[in-house]
Amino acid sequence: MADVHLPPTLTPLFAGLPRRVEIDAPTVAAALAELDSRWPGLRDRLLEPGPTIRPHIHVYVDKERAGLDTAIEARSRVDVIAAISGG
Amino acid sequence: MARTMLLIGTRKGLFIMESDENRTDWKTRGPLCESWPVYHAIHDAASGSIYAAAASEWHGSTVWRSNDLGETWSNSSEGLGYGDDDPRKISKVSTLAVQDGRVLVGVEAPGIFESADGGETWSLLSTLAGQPGSEVWDDPANQPPGHLGISALMPDPDDPKSFIAIVQGIGAYETTDFGGDWTPRNRGLRADWPREHEEVGFCVHRLVRSPTDRNRMYQQNHVGVHRSDDGGKSWNEITGDLPSEFGFAAAVHPHDRETFYVIPLDPGHARCMPEGQAAVWRTRDGGGSWEKLTKGLPQDHAHLGVLRAAMSIDRNDSPGLYFGTSTGQVFASTDEGDNWAEIADHLPTIWSVEVATVD
């Protein structure tokens, strides 16, 4: 199970969504699809049409900047960051 | 007793100010909508719901809704997009309206989405495809951010299938079949720049319609204040001796079609009230002459800006007029603009003010 860390801007939008979620998925895209199945609408908050990761959302897998196709290992840590958006 | 409610969209969430019918003592709630930037919010009198158009730099665009006058909120963007294969992107949802039982939202890049289930799901109603000017906003090179959107939707109170959409920097278009066909409504407007089409290329900042006469409309344009007596088919300039032809906000008296308000602004970089003196200007004769209204408004280094959706007027016998500023003040008048009071300060940048009367 990968350990997915979500930004604090996301959790108030979905009932019961914690900051950390354990997900069994082979890629970032699959992990987000799994999250969306559990919290419908979550995908739209992180991705825009394409699909691509939203410009100010950064995803890291084991501390490396990741894309939707990036592979996730069973013990990976996935960080989803709300980044660089001013004050 | 009926309550007067101001829905104030700001850069840091929605705020709701409430008062009784006297409109002298106000209580403020907020920030609501998780402090998302809220560009516009409306109250749907038929359903009792509040809708707020919001866009987050991080999490994209959505429409928030509350069925209990702002106590609890949910949001949905399901269907609110042009699709994975379309080069057009939605950078924000700009404006809301309710017409014919549907919630309408205007977005950037220009398009109108509708919801028939109270904001649970959305579907594309129109992009004004094929209209003169659409080649500009449909061009993939001109996609937002930094490009133009639908800045307002104005339902026709007498015809549930008719409404006007304003495309920022392009002009007003009217549909009479709920988004099927469109007709530009800009004839007679002034433009101080080259235009590619005769009927469009005008910068309509704010367009309002008299509640007592559907054919009487006014608009604050980038260049000038204009009046229509034929439901927008033609326009005549009424800028007269206003201190600036430029401004954003406008409001028309709910019971007198000849009374209309604007807030002239410096057209340069400042885009604030001239001379650092806050003023609303009123005509009582359809634009034949103008009065400067300043009583109760700050007159010393009051470099206030008011954006296009940030002035509203209620429908009381003595109508209340309200405007919010880019620096977070809200001013109110309950005597048609003769006297003003500051009813809020220190709010975030205000983008919109809508008033609702609720039981």
Model ipTM value: 0.89
Kindly state the average pLDDT of the residues A18-28. 97
Say what the pLDDT of residue B359 is. Answer: 85
pLDDT at position B302 is 97
> Per the structure block, which two tokens stand in for B168?
């920022």
Nearest CA in chain A to B78: A41
Look at residue B124 and tell me whether its pLDDT is greater than 70. Answer: yes
pLDDT of residue A84: 75
Q: What is the pLDDT of residue B136?
A: 85
Q: Give the integer Cα–Cα distance in Å for B154 and B159.
A: 12
pLDDT digits (tens, 9 = 90+) for B33-53: 999 999 999 999 999 999 999
Indicate yes or no: CB of A51 within 8 angstroms of CB of B84: yes
Contact B56 A13 (CB under 8 A): no
At the top level of CATH, which class does the domain A2-82 belong to? alpha beta
- Rounded Cα distance between B243 and B261, Å, is 14
What is the residue type of B8? I
Delimit the domains of chain A by residue range: 2-82
CA atoms within 13 A on the CB side of A36: 14
- Asked if A54 and B84 come within 8 Å (Cβ–Cβ), the reply is no
State the residue for tokens 């204009």.
B226
* Burial class for B341, CB neighbours closer than 10 Å (0-12, 13-18, 19+): middle
- pTM, full prediction: 0.95
Q: What confidence tier does B137 reach under pLDDT thresholds 50, 70, 90?
A: confident
Residue B32 C-alpha, separation from nearest chain A C-alpha, in angstroms: 12
- In this structure, what are the phi and psi dihedrals at residue A59, rounded to the nearest 5 degrees? -120, 135
Q: Inter-chain contact A48–B89, Cβ cutoff 8 Å?
A: yes
Judge whether B114 and B51 are in contact, CB under 8 Å.
no
| Per-residue confidence (pLDDT) for residue B255, from 0 to 100 | 98
Minimal C-alpha gap between B36 and chain A (Å):
10
Backbone angles phi, psi at B115, to 5 degrees: -130, 130
Asked whether B180 and B174 are in contact (CB, 8 A), the reply is no
- How many A/B residue pairs have CB atoms within 8 Å? 46
CB-based contact B34 A12, cutoff 8 Å: yes
For chain B, helix, strand, coil in percent to 5 are: 5, 40, 55
CB contact under 8 A, B60 and A10: no
Tell me the chain A residues in contact with residue B59 when contact means C-beta distances shorter than 8 Å: 9-10, 13, 45-46, 54, 57, 82
DSSP string computed for A51-78: TEE-TTEEEEETTEE--TT-B--TT-EE
Q: What distance in Å separates residue B85's CA from the closest CA in chain A?
A: 7
Nearest neighbour of B84 by CB, restricted to A12, A49, A56: A49
In this prediction, residues B265-289 reach a mean pLDDT of 96
Contact B76, A41 (CB under 8 A): yes
Write out the H or E segment, with its range, that includes residue B221. strand B213-221
- A12, A44, A83 ranked by CB distance to B60: nearest: A44
Residue B15: C-alpha distances to residues B56, B101, B345 (Å): 17, 25, 12
> What does pLDDT average to over chain B?
95
pLDDT band, residue B145 (cuts 50/70/90): low
